[in-house]
Structures are given as structure tokens and as C-alpha cells.
Structure 1
Amino acid sequence: MVLDSLFSKKSLLVAGLGIALLGCQNNSDTSDNYASKSTQTPQGVVETLHGVEVHDPYRYLEQESDETHEWVAEQQQAGYAYLSKINNKQAVVDRITELWNYEKQTAPFEHGDNTFYYRNDGLQAQSVLYVKGKDGVERVALDPNKLSSDGTVALSGVSVSNDGKTIAYGVSKSGSDWQQWQFIDVATGRALGDELKWIKFSRAQWAADNSGVYYSRYDAPEGGNLLADVNFNQKVYFHKLGDKQAQDTLIYERPQNKDWGFAASVTDKGDYLLISISQGTDSRNRFFYQSLTDAKAEVVELIIDLEAEYQFLGNDKSVFYFKTDLAAPNGKVIAIDVNSPDKANWQTIIAESSDPISNVEIIHDHFVVSYLHDVLGKLTIFSMNGDKRQDVDLPGKGKVAGPYGKRSKDYFYYVFNSYVQPQTTYRFDFKTGQSTLFAKPDISFNPDDYVSEQVFYTSKDGTRVPMMVSYKKGLKKNGANPTLLYAYGGFAISLTPRFSPANIAWMDMGGIYAVPNIRGGAEYGESWHKAGMFDKKQNVFDDYYAAAEYLIEQGYTNSTKLGAYGRSNGGLLMGAVLTQRPDLFAAVLPAVGVLDMLRFHKFTIGWAWTSEYGSADVAEQFPALLAYSPYHNIKPRAYPATMVMTADHDDRVVPLHSFKFGALLQDNQRGDAPVIMRIESKAGHGAGKPTSMKIDEFADIYTFLWTNFGLQVPAKIGQ
């Protein structure tokens, strides 16, 4: 799923959309209200759930066993054999590599006298963290490429102390969600001896005096399976630099609420500790705080009701500012004086508008608000009392990432890109009210040779849905263009325009890249999200099918040249495509997908997604889940060409979903199209994947689609 760049100020647990790896089922598997009868047969497991007989023929693939490993090895070999026989894959690899090979640099961020930024020289496995001091001399602060020989050890987070002298950094191995945090001295590059373990979905937040960090962690898994055992009871700790982790101070826990997740932070002036409390992946949160100026202060439960999102923005002493969707699905900015916390005293600073708010930062004593206007970025500046100052002139129609800045500075940075324009960084100056170019990449193609247009279509129930359609200029709407339809549709994640050099390679091959903004995301605020949750999940699928039908009706393509692709929650969408509308597509790619909707909550962090999907444990929610669960709706019929994609270290969405689904789909394929598995080794849900592995994956996707469109992969691709 699209899970990167989700961290902002929300709990990282909210960003954790996925499941885990193959492994033992946990002890909750036989709760009385879930399975009234369970029988093992030669054909698998048969259970009676809420009075309904449910078959699970490949339950054994959930187990860490010789039989499972043998099956995985056979599937890996068969998938590789199929893909290796496709001619001209190297031409695709070469073009993607050529396009990918340009210097990429992020917007800078400042701490003390030091300025930090990431840069990748083009094809480095992982981007390198650089630092510049007052002398203006650039040097490497942290190079994750030196953490492993094959690039499969990645940075999972970096937190720089307020004085800019120490870096805390998280490391993830083979794409796992488990992190280890370590520390280095910026001036010398010397590694400090501190090490923090058993961390998921947490950052390190520095104390105001830079003496240590607040962080959240779980206890070590008791079941012994790090990649599949369920994770509950996250706790907040404080680690003092120089101490062993065993000496860390427990700041807050909630043993009576095992499914609460905690994100701790500190106000800019260090006067308050803030604890945002999530429950599952729901964007709603509780909010507690503790005074750090009074050693005897207790944690105060400011917002205890789980009724809305409350994203802390900053404070003026006892006045706390929040972005919230309370009675405002598109978002608004409010002020709460913690000395008078009753709701009747809350003040609206920036009212809800017709455009949803995607981000807010306080910079130069102004609110800088990032909006989505029909999915495209918009930046507006307000005073601290909510008066509009100006809209920021943007370089085009696309995505705005940011703003990145501090309240004490009179400037900020933002990054602009689109499906055909790479990330370009701009600096906005409050003194002039203008933006100037800060960093522009040197690329090996001309964006003017490509088109990225927004269209609107009507879904099954009459809902108007936007879609971005991108292709190379000169393409004719002859109804036969190879088309890749990518979507997600869940967890309030908005698919705003995002540049990828691999997409340019697809367009260079003559392909169309289309991304519909289906319900379940937040492109039109929380109401758009809710329209694709729980028993309304079918809206997500129907929006996607309507997008495909629009592309066919408008002469872009036809069903024999149309490919479907989605990751994680989007992989669930692909499972629905295969079981509900296999006639509509020539090829389908479910990647790291949630495909068993009756058991997803039984592995690692899967329980957290019940706030999005519901739970098969709940009798009222069970019928809707069973109705669309991809694994349970496979039946003998002709299916389109399918490549089920997963990875052996995915502890977000466990590969057992893909294993079981792929095995059953192969059994039930009655057509001639291939059904193969692509199982990556030493990889996880997607984050931290090295560049070479990404390029190879795209090349396999494109050549698989091209071949199953009945086309020959070109021997040479490019200008």
C-alpha cells in the first residue's frame, strides 16, 4: 500500500496499514463468538462462523513449516521461470535505470547551526543524510548504504536533537516494521553506545535539553515469531543518553487498553509532553499531555473521546492549536486553552472550507495550510487569528509536499511534482511573499513531451470521481493503448500526483498510466473516506470498475489491453477485481494484499485495521466481509493473467494472504492465462527497498503486463 510519507504529526500506528509474514496463528483463533466449530479435513480447515460454513483449504500455509517452505520455493522458481522467458526485459530495465539515474535531494531541515538533507546520486540503494554547518561545508552525516552489502538494511526514521549535535536513527532489516534505534555524534560521526529495541510505529522525540528521547515500544514477542506474532500494549518510555535501555523510564502505559497506540512529542519550547493516542488505523485519536515544568505533574486527559482527529500544531503557553475534523469532515483549525478545556470554550481559528486540509504548519507565526482542490495541491497562508493573508503561487497543477519550516523562521520550503514532473523544491520568503526555485533535478527526459490530464467520471451510484491520466504526447485514442490502472482506496490515504521515473518508462513504451481517486481515500475529506469503509467497501470496488469502463468508453483502451495494479489495501482491491470483474481486465497484479478478510486481524498489527474494515469476530460485520473477501470468493472459472506479489519479510501484511490466495486461484483457474507468484526475498511491505530491487520489480510488472496484452516488449525503449 501507499504507506510512505504518512508520518507528519499523527501516530505512526495510524500509518501501519498491513499485516505480517507467514507464521503461527495466535491464541485468539478460537474465540467462542468467532468459530462455533472447526474441523481439519484433507482439503483444509472447515469452520462454522456465525452459523455459516467457511472453507479454508490452504490454512497450512499460515504455518512456519517444511511444507510451507517447500511450497514457497516451488512458487518462487515457477514465477522466476515464467518471467525470465519474456524477451527484452533488459530493455525495460535499461530505460528505467536511465530515467532513475539523476540526483535527488529533499527539502532541507534545520537544527541548531546545522542544516540537514537527504541526497541520492541517482542509483544508490538508499539515500544519504548530509549536514552543513555554519562554515557551509557539506559532509555525510549518515550513510545507510554502509549498513549492509545489498542495501536491504534501511533507515526507518531519523530524529535530530534540537541543538543539531546528535542524531537518533532507526534501522529496519529486509523491510520489517521492527526497528532498532541508535545514536551518533554529528560533529565526529562517532557512534554512541545507546541502542533501543522492540520499536514499531514510533519515532524518537528529543527532550528540550537534548538529554534523551521519548519513544514508544512493545514488549518482545512471546510467541517467538517476530514477523507474525500479534503486537499489543505499546508503552511510552524516556531514554537518557548513556543509559542502557533496561534503565529507561516508563512514562505512560494503558494495560487495560491493549489496542491503544502512543505517539509522544514535545512542544517547541519544551514546556509540555504530548501524547497522541490512536486505536487501530483510524485517523481519530485521543490527546493527553503532561507539564514538563512541574516535576510532580500528572498526565492530563485533555481529549478522551475517540470522535475525531486532533493533530497538534503548536502552542502559545496554555493555548494549544489543533487541526481537527470534529464536525468538519474537510478539516479546520481550532484553539483549546488547557486551563479552560470545556468544549464550549474551544475556538475555531480557520473554518472548514470546500477543499479538505491535508497539512498545517505554524511558520513565522502564521498558519500555512496545504489544501487539496480536486486532488491537486494548494497552499494558503493565514495569520494566527485566522485572517487569510495570501495563496502561494504554485508552478503548476500537481502535488505539494510540505510546507517544511519552523515558527522561528521567516521562510519555508515545499516540494512540487506531478506524474510527469519530478520533485522540485521551492523556498517561500515571508518578506517578499514569493517563491524561488531552490533545487531542480537534472533529468534525462523532457516533461513537455508528456501529458497528465485530470478527467472526471461517474461511478455506479452516480458519484463523481476524479482520475489522472498520463501518457506521451502523440498518443491516439484508438481504443487499443496498453493501460495500467493503479488505485488504493482506503485508510484516508489520498493518491495525489506523485512522480516516478518508472512511470515515464511505461509511457515511453506506449502505455497509459491512470490513477482514479476512488472512495476510501481522503481526497474529498473524511466523508470520502467513510464512504469506502466497513459495509461501504463495495463503493471502492465499484469506483474502480467505473474508471476502467470510462477508459474503454472514451477510447483510451479496451479490456484486452487493460491491466489492474494495487498494493496492500490496493492489493485487496485487486482481489476484488479478480473475483468480481475478471472480464474487465487482461491482467491483474495484487501486491502485498490483504486477501483473507476473515483472519487478517490475527497477525501482527492486523487487529488495528478492524477500525477500517470491521471484524469477522463481530456477527453484524461478518456478512459484509465474507461477501467480498477475495480468498473466500474464488471459484472455478477463467481468470485473467495474474501475478500475485509478496515478500518473505513482510510483517505488515503477512505473505500468508498472498500464499493462500495464489494457491487457491491456481487451483481454480479454468482459462489459459497464467497465474504466478512473485515472492521477493529479504524484502518487506515496501519501505526501505533498495533501488535495484525496485527497478527489477517494475520491469517484471511491465513485461508481465505487456506479454499478457498480446504484445512484444520493445527491444529498445526511449527517445
Structure 2
Amino acid sequence: MPDMHYPETARIDVIEERFGRTVTDPYRWLEGDAGSDPRILAWIEAQNAVSAAYLEALPGRDVFRERMAALLDYERYTAPVKRGGRYFFTLNRGRANQPSLFVREGSEGLDRLLIDPNAWSDDSADALGEWSASDDGRLLAFGVQVGGTDWRTIRVLDVDSGRELEDRVEWARFTQIAWAPDGSGFFYSRYPRPEPEAMNAPAADHAICFHRLGTPQEEDRLIFATPDRPALLNIAGRADAGRYLHISSTPGTNESALAVVDLEAEDWTPRTVVAGMEAEWLVLGNVGTRLVLLTTEGAERRRVVSLDMAEAEPTPVEIVPEAAGQAVVNDAAILGGRLLVGYLVDVKTEVRRFRMDGRPDGVVTLPGIGTAGGLRGHPAENEAFFVFTSYDRPTTVYRYEVAANRAEPWAEPVVPIDLGAIVVEQRFYSSKDGTKVPLFLVRRRDVTGAAPTLLYGYGGFGISLIPVYNPLQIAWVEQGGVLAVANIRGGGEYGRAWHRAGRREMRQNAFDDFIAAAEFLKAEGITPPDGLAIQGESGGGLLVGAVTNQRPDLFNAALPGVGVMDMLRYDQFTGGVLWMPEFGSPAEEAHFANLLGYSPYHAIRPGRDYPAILVTTADADDRVVPAHSFKYVAALQAVDLGRRPRLARIETRAGHGGGMPLDKAIALHADMWAFAARWTGLAVG
């Protein structure tokens, strides 16, 4: 193919000496705000013009768009939340850009539309964020997400009339919404209002406030803050019918301190229960004054304990010990007077029942091998709900009778594809150091030989890649490609040890695991020698960028999305400071050397043939700011990396991914899959 002609990107002289090393940053000017810097806006437009011309010419693009739209044309429910005899849930009937919020009046009542975010903007880029119904089901507080940003405006709806109240709460971010038991108001998390020029500045002073209905936000009561540690994230929650508000404070890890507010007391004074941040403490609910929690304290793969708030110094009392083997607790709830605990066993779900004193009480029979989760229900009621899904099973909502231990479908989708033609298998392969790593393979039943493969990974923050039905991925499989998902270290698939083995100075393990997955796919004849594309988003975008630099010979196409690409300055923007426990601090010499060694922006290797690269990001991403991708693309295009293209696709009125309208998600993935198909040899038609 002819050489690509990329837009000119100005270079500036930014040279720094750090710990005896010279670091250049010639594209730092791209960290500015496109809304106020015409140079950056012009650069974005020029990059999009080049990539659009290339992508529009790809033969498989329209096929993928049409098939994705068709594969998504089915009803998609979330598990209902029951409040005051009413059932609240979201539903997308198929082709709507955004799911809408409905209420069902009683178990046999009619569904009534409460909120349709599709009417909020012409391009459907504004979305419904977090939402919560009051205990009696009369009121609903909901967050509005504008154009993909992480910021929220919280509004309140009268459920009986459908009328929106005058209450407005601004500058909520990284928040839950927790109602007071009497419905007088709700708790939420917010940052101070930023100055316009500081929208991308590091986030600080996260606080929990209480908004009393009918009062202006200026009168909201400060409940909890950590001014001595302004970088902490403070999240407040309340379990179903819970007596306590529980407050988690974390520097950005899964581990947290725990404070509790007794909502039956008059003064609502937070009480520190766990001061240190060496373990997870996740509140499931309370039985009288006893909190029931999941914790990693004394259990790398979590156990269930209680803490009695009537004691002056509550100490953990074990209810359900850490499971034998490698099973890790992934979900749990108090339902119908039982403890239901979901375990990941080699990344597949088992749900086990326990009495409240910890005695085993059988298992929940699941409809297959896959993922069960979202356990919801009143702790004292017999009726509960959960969802089940897998790579070849669309998400189904089940109604569960706790006493009878019986589940039946509550909302079972009918999808426009014969899923019997899809095969899912799990394999295990050896990484560089001999560690066994799980790998899921999804393909058409008639694809038995080597086929172009899309390898997906993440490997960070203790997040597990569990089997989930995704029509956008199925579109690749439907065309004859293989989808491979590697459960690499850095995730949470086997608990804290698995996570820690892939973070900070151990992050190279995650990269090695992903590289080993690629080598395994080729050695086993699953993928042809020139047929491998890799994809990852956010921390997975970092993964793709890092391994592309380390082994450019191994991949034919790379799709890094909304990635953390400048590891020496990630902590300078928005919530990046929260990632330092995961990555290490660029201001510390030991961490600096490690970060510089794999930073995608800094570790590009001129003179080597790189795979075709399509970098995707969005202009309103205020979690991983798009400057990461801008600088990375500029660096890729500035040096000789072979003749394959290195392009940027920059979405407008979109953010880190959450709330993206369906039409934009389809267009994005059609471009990515067509690009990958072009360079892996997948015949689309």
C-alpha cells in the first residue's frame, strides 16, 4: 500500500532531567484544552480527516455496522430493584441509543416509563448515570451524564406523578446515591466546583454530603471529608433496608478504610471502624447492630465477617471463611435470611448458600457455565433477583425464591442469532515464568482451523474479565474470526495475589502474560502466523501500547482505546492521582525507572516494523484524558515504524466509554473490526 501522509504535528522543546535521565516531551502542548486552544482543535480535525478517509474505504466496515445493529436489536433488561412494592429497572428495547428507566407497579403490574434519556440531546450523548429509589418507592434520584463526562448532575423524580422536583445537585463525581431511610434526602459524593481552566487538573477534596429535599444545594450538609488526605476517594452507600451509612475511603486501591454513620442516631456522626487501608471492607448489610461484610483481612480471596457496632472497639467475627482452593468471592448479598455468596472458580461463577451463622446451606443451580451476579433483594424477603450471562448466552434476569432455592427467568431475551453455532472453550497456557493463565476462546462451530483472532485483555486494578455476552464482539466471531480473552495477572480472577502480581514493579508480568497468550494462539494453530489483532481499553489500552512496543513482530493490528499512554505524567490529570497505588508514583525514583521502561509514549522503538495501529479516544474523556492518546499518536507518526498505518480516531461528545450512545458505539467498533480484519486477513461479507 502507498505510504501514509500524516498531519504535521509541531514539536516543542521540553527536556527534563529526572533521576539522572533525560526525558523529552515534544508533544506536551497537546495536553491543553481543545475547547480553548485552536491549535489542538485543528490537530484533532486533521487527524480525524486522515483516519476517516482510510476507514471509509475498508470493505468490511458497512457489513460490521449492519450486523452489529441487527445483533443488538433485542430487549436488554437490568435486574430490578424493589422498593415499596415497586420494581425499578432499565430497559433498552433494541435500537435505542440509551436505555430508559421503567417502574413496574407490583409483580404483575404494567411497566411505566419514568426516564427516557434519548430525549435529552439531539445526538443522544447525554445518558442516565447512577440512580436510586427511596425505601418507599415514592421518589427517585438520578444522575445525568452529559457528553460522556464523569461529572453528574443529580435530579429527583416523584414516581407517582412522574414530575421532576426542583432539586438540583451539581458536581457529583465518582458517587453512589444513598437515600436516608425516611426519604427526606440522599447522600452523595462530590468535588468542589472546578474553575473552567482546571477541569483536567488532579482531583482533590472528595467529600460526602447530604442533600435534604426542597433545599438549595448550598445548604447541603457535609457528612464526611478527609482534608488531611485530599487525594482520597470517599464513597457512601447504604444496603437495602440498612440502618447504617457506610463510608469507604481509598487512595485508589481496592483496600479502604471504613467509617459508619448510624442513621437512627440524631447527630449522624461518622464513626471510624477501620482506620487502616490494608484490606477491603465491603458492607453487605446489618442484622441489628451487627454489620455483615466481605473483607480481604486475613483472606486473600475474601471471607464474610461481622462487626458489632454495639461494641466500643468492634473486632471481626468470621461467618464464612475463605474458600478452599482458588475460589475467590466475587459477589455476595443477604437475601431472605440467607447469605448468598458468588465465587469465581477459574473465572466461572458458583453461587453458594449459607445460614446467617455461616452453616452451608446448599448451592444455587445456575443455567450453565458463565457469570452470575447482581444479587438483589430485601434481606428479609423471599424474593430476590440475579443475572446470568456468558460469551454465548445473552444476559437473562432471574427471579429467585430464597426459601425454595428456585430460580426462573424474569426477563429472558430472544436474540437475532443462532447461538448454537457458537462454541466457547477455556484453555490454560504458560506465561514466561511458568504461571498458568486462563484463556477463553469464542468461535463459530464450523471454524476448526487457524482463523484471524482478536485478543482482548486488561490486567489491572484487580478487575476480573468475566464471561459476558457482547453482540459487538459476536459480530467479529460471526464473520469467522476467533475472539480470545486472556485473564492475565493484574486482574482479580484469583484474588489479591493475582492482582498484586501484575501491578507496580510487577506490571511486566501482565505484559508477559499477554505476549504469552499471543504466542500460545499461534503455536496451537488457533491463529495463523499473520492473523492476530490485539485490543484493550483504558488500562487495557496501556497494555496494548506496551506490548506493541515490546513485541511489534507478534501482532498484525493493535487497537489501544482510551489508554494511559504517558506513564510519567498520568498523575497530573483529573483522577490519575488515584492510580498511583496501581502504577507507582513518577515522582519516586524506583517507580520512575519502571514506568519509563514500559510507558507506551516513551518506549516506541524506531526502525522496527510495527503492526497497523488504530488509536481510539474521545474529546470529553475526563478519566483518562485524551492527551494520552494524542501524544502517543504524534510520537508514532513522527518516526519510521514501517509502512502500516498509525491512525487516531477521536470521537466527539463522548468520554471514557460509559454512556456512549449505541450508534456511536456501533460506528466505533465497526471501524475497529474492519481495520483489524484488513490487517489479519479476515474475509468479511
TM-score interval (norm. to shorter) = over 0.9
Matched, 1:302 2:273: yes
Report if aligned partners of 1:593, 1:657 keep a CA contact under 8 Å in 2. yes
Structure 1 stretch displaced more, 365-374 or 435-444: 435-444
Question: Alpha-carbon deviations, 1:279-308, whole Å to 9, x = none?
Answer: 22x000101113333324632211001110
| Aligned: 1:49 with 2:13 | no
| Cα 1:193–1:336 shift into 2, 3 Å | same
Shift of 1:270: 5.5
Instruction: Please provide the CA RMSD for this pair.
Output: 1.5
1:656 and 2:593 correspond: no
Query: Which of residues 326, 349, 362 in structure 1 aligns to 2:319?
Result: 349
Q: Deviations over 1:131-156 (max 9, x none)?
A: 12247122111111111121100011
2:647 is equivalent to residue 676 of structure 1: yes
**In the alignment, is the contact (CA less than 8 A) between 2:60 and 2:677 conserved in 1?**
no
Q: Distance in 2 between matches of 1:62 and 1:298?
A: 42
Looking at structure 2, the residues matched to 253 and 76 of structure 1 have their Cα atoms a distance apart, in angstroms, of: 43
CA distance in 2, matches of 1:231, 1:48: 26
Q: Which amino acid aligns with 1:166?
A: L
Q: Which residue pairs with 1:383 in the alignment?
A: 355
CA distance in 2 between counterparts of 1:500 and 1:711 reads 20
Runs (5+) with no aligned partner, structure 1? 1-40, 715-719
Q: Distance in 2 between matches of 1:632 and 1:112?
A: 56
Structure number with the bigger relative contact order (C-alpha 8 A, sep ≥ 6) is 1
1:142-221 paired onto structure 2 within 5 Å:
142-221=115-194
Alignment match of 2:572 (pick from 602, 627, 644): 602
Partner of 1:521: 491
Q: Which residue of 1 aligns with 2:206?
A: 234
CA shift for structure 1 position 213? 0.6
**Residue in 2 aligned with 1:22?**
none
Q: Tell me if structure 2 keeps the 8 A contact 1:207–1:270.
A: no
Tell me which residue corresponds to 1:686.
657
Cα 1:112–1:197, aligned 2, differ >3 Å: closer, same or farther?
A: same
- Gap change, CA 1:119 and 1:298, over 3 Å in 2: closer
Distance in 2 of aligned mates of 1:98 and 1:42: 45
5+ residue gaps, structure 2, are 1-9
Q: Distance in 2 between matches of 1:620 and 1:66?
A: 38
> Match for residue 465 of structure 2?
495
* Among candidates 264, 276, 291, match of residue 248 of structure 2: 276
Q: Is the 8 A contact 1:223 1:229 kept in 2?
A: no
User: Cα offset for 1:464?
Assistant: 0.4
Where does residue 483 of structure 1 map in the other structure? 453
Give CA-to-partner distance per residue, 1:100-132, whole Å, 9 cap, x none. 111112222110021112111101011111112
SS in 1 for 2:574: coil
Q: How does 1:355-374 map to 2 (within 5 A)?
A: 355-374=327-346
AA at the equivalent of 1:142: I
Which deviates more, 401-410 or 199-208? Answer: 401-410
Distance 2:557 2:640 in 1: 13
Does the aligned pair in 2 maintain the 1:370–1:402 contact within 8 Å? no
In 2, the alpha carbon distance for the partners of 1:421 and 1:556 equals 23
- Structure-1 separation of matches of 2:159 and 2:141: 10
Partner Cα distance (1:558, 1:275) in 2? 51
Q: Is 1:423 equivalent to 2:395 in the alignment?
A: yes
1:631 and 1:664 in contact (8 A); partners too: yes
> 1:712 and 1:136, CA in 2 relative to 1: closer, same or farther beyond 3 A?
closer
**Matching residue of 2:32:** 63
Aligned residues: 669
Query: Following TM superposition, by how much is the alpha carbon of 1:85 offset from its aligned partner in structure 2, in angstroms?
Result: 1.2
Superposed CA offset, 1:506-527 (max 9, x none): 1121100000100000000111
Between stretches 182-191 and 422-431, larger displacement belongs to: 422-431
The aligned counterpart of 1:285 is 256
User: What residue is the counterpart of 1:224 in the other structure?
Assistant: 197
Q: TM-score, normalized by length of structure 2?
A: 0.95
Please show how residues 581-596 of structure 1 align to structure 2 within 5 Å.
581-596=551-566
Summarize deviations over 1:511-568 as a string: whole Å, max 9, x none: 0000010000000011100000100000000000111111101101134110000000
Decide whether aligned partners of structure 1 residues 634 and 225 sit closer, same or farther in structure 2, where only a CA change above 3 A counts.
same
Aligned to 1:709: 680
Per the alignment, do residues 557 and 220 of structure 1 end up closer, same or farther by CA in structure 2, a change over 3 Å counting? same
- How far residue 43 of structure 1 moved from its aligned partner, in angstroms, is 4.6
1:208, 1:266 within 8 Å by CA — same for their partners in 2? no
Residue 671 of structure 1: CA displacement? 0.8
| Residues 1:402 and 2:370 aligned together | no
SS in 1 for 2:469: coil
2:191 and 2:207 in contact (8 A); partners too: yes
Say if 1:593 and 1:658, in contact at 8 Å, map to a contact too: yes
Q: Is the 8 A contact 1:44 1:60 kept in 2?
A: no
- For normalisation by structure 1, the TM-score amounts to 0.91
Q: CA deviation at 1:42?
A: 5.7
Residue 21 of structure 2 aligns with an amino acid whose one-letter code is V
The change in CA–CA distance for 1:271 and 1:670 in structure 2 (over 3 A counts) is closer
Q: Could you say if the C-alpha distance between residues 471 and 625 of structure 1 is closer, same or farther in structure 2, counting changes exceeding 3 Å?
A: same
Match of 2:597 among 627, 630, 654: 627
Once the two structures are superposed, residues 570-592 of structure 1 have per-residue CA deviations (whole angstroms, 9 ceiling, x without a partner) of 00001112210110000001100
SS state at 2:647 partner: strand
Contact 1:485 1:548 survives alignment (8 Å): yes
Q: Alignment partner of 1:631: what SS? A: coil
Q: CA deviation at 1:57?
A: 1.5
Separation (CA, whole Å) in 1 of partners of 2:667 and 2:41? 24
